[in-house]
Amino acid sequence: MKMTFRWYGQDDPVTLTYIKQIPNVTGVVSAIYDIPVGEVWPLERIQELKEVVNQAGLELEVIESVPVHEDIKLKRGDYQRYIDNYKQTIKNLSKCGIKCICYNFMPVFDWTRSSIDHLLEDGSQALVYYKNEVDKLDPTKLTLPGWDASYSPEEVTELIEAYQQLGEEGLWKNLQYFIEEIIPVASSCDVNMAIHPDDPPWSIFGIPRIVTNEENLDRFLSLYDDTHHGLTLCSGSLGCATFNDMPHLIRKYGKQKRIHFAHVRNIKILEDGSFEESAHYSSCGSLDMVEMMKAYIETGFDGYIRPDHGRMIWGETGKPGYGLYDRALGAMYLGGIIDALKGK
């Protein structure tokens, strides 16, 4: 498996030079962040991004993410044009050597937290999801790193209402149409499409969420019989729900060769179902990191892996969840587990 690190481009305070110094990291996953959602990613812009990464001595084989326009998810307005644009972006990425594309089908909001700088007992700061606080949030005023911040409060309200009317089955139907459109293109380009689970894996603000558990992962994979149609298996999103057994999911979908990208991090689940993002170290949270890595090795996983969100430690400031130090510790911890399990 290839250890990678998320990089947010030239404006990221975590530079490629720093990432290159993490011993077991061979590449970064990134994206082009200034292209409006739904528009084609120009070939020359992709080439420029790849050249910058390669010049730093790192690989760029995974894009995280190519956003899916809300019109596609709702199958309204200009949805077909946006799907055609998405197909062209897949082709352009393939021409530049991209082998895996991470995306999600979460309505309106990507990952959701109640706080992005909660002070933990050890003095570090972390992303947390406290249910009682989320219930009090105004969804029209929320913003988190990586979100599309182009919507006005009025537009967010309209979108929420549209998804509430669409419901889960309507969202499934639109997802199936999207998959049937893009996977033949991805397959012909030999690009793996890896959907990211909903984070958290339950409905928020009355909006349907469908990529949430084993039953729904089975349903998702059954939408198209092609191994290019697969998963970004994120332990931080699926793992924050006690109904998801992460080692089991890894073994099941790993044997099917449907896991293309692994996001690995720990979560501390609280009594009421809330959770805190913790250090990767197993005893710091609720997930068995050794057992998860054992499952990846047993199933012969040879795809891409990255330490996911990290705490802010040692006085670091930057993009919440995406500082250097704790994620680098996570990469080294995971690398150590892998070496130990392989008997190196």
pLDDT in tens, 240-256: 999 999 999 999 999 99
Q: What is the pLDDT of residues 142-200, one digit of tens each?
A: 666 555 556 777 888 899 999 999 999 999 999 999 999 999 999 999 999 999 999 99
Known catalytic residue: 69?
Answer: no
Of 71, 199, 308, 326, which is the active-site residue? 308
Share above pLDDT 90 across residues of the chain, in percent, rounded to a whole number: 89
Known catalytic residue: 196?
Answer: yes
Residue 339 has pLDDT above 90, yes or no: yes
Average pLDDT over residues 275-284: 96
3-state secondary structure of 190: coil
Q: Is 154 left (phi over 0), alpha (psi -120 to 50) or beta?
A: alpha
Of 234, 253, 260, 296, which is the active-site residue? 234
Total count of domains within the chain: 1
With CA atoms as reference, report the closest residue to 322 among 119, 145, 124, 103.
145
- CA 170 → CA 27, 200, 302, distances in Å? 38, 20, 35
Known catalytic residue: 280?
Answer: no
Of 129, 130, 322, 325, which is the active-site residue? 322
Known catalytic residue: 308?
Answer: yes
Torsions phi, psi of 144, nearest 5? -140, 155
**Selected residue with higher pLDDT from 140 and 331:** 331
The pLDDT value recorded for residue 109 is 83
Of 263, 284, 304, 325, which is the active-site residue? 263
Known catalytic residue: 263?
Answer: yes
Known catalytic residue: 322?
Answer: yes
CATH number at residue 241: 3.20.20.150
Average pLDDT over residues 286-296: 98
- CA 264 → CA 100, 270, 281, 306, distances in Å? 17, 19, 11, 6
Of 69, 118, 196, 280, which is the active-site residue? 196
Residue 110's pLDDT band, with cuts at 50, 70 and 90, is: confident
Q: What is the pLDDT of residues 10-39, one digit of tens each?
A: 999 999 999 999 999 999 999 999 999 999
Q: What is the pLDDT of residues 231-244, one digit of tens each?
A: 999 999 999 999 99
Out of 58-72, 109-123, 278-292, pick the least confident: 109-123
Q: Containing domain of residue 105, as a range?
A: 2-341
Out of 56-65, 89-98, 137-146, pick the least confident: 137-146
**Selected residue with higher pLDDT from 139 and 103:** 103
Average pLDDT over residues 334-338: 96
Q: Which residues have C-beta within 8 Å of that of residue 174, sequence separation ≥ 6? A: 72, 73, 74, 75, 166
pTM reported for the whole predicted model: 0.95
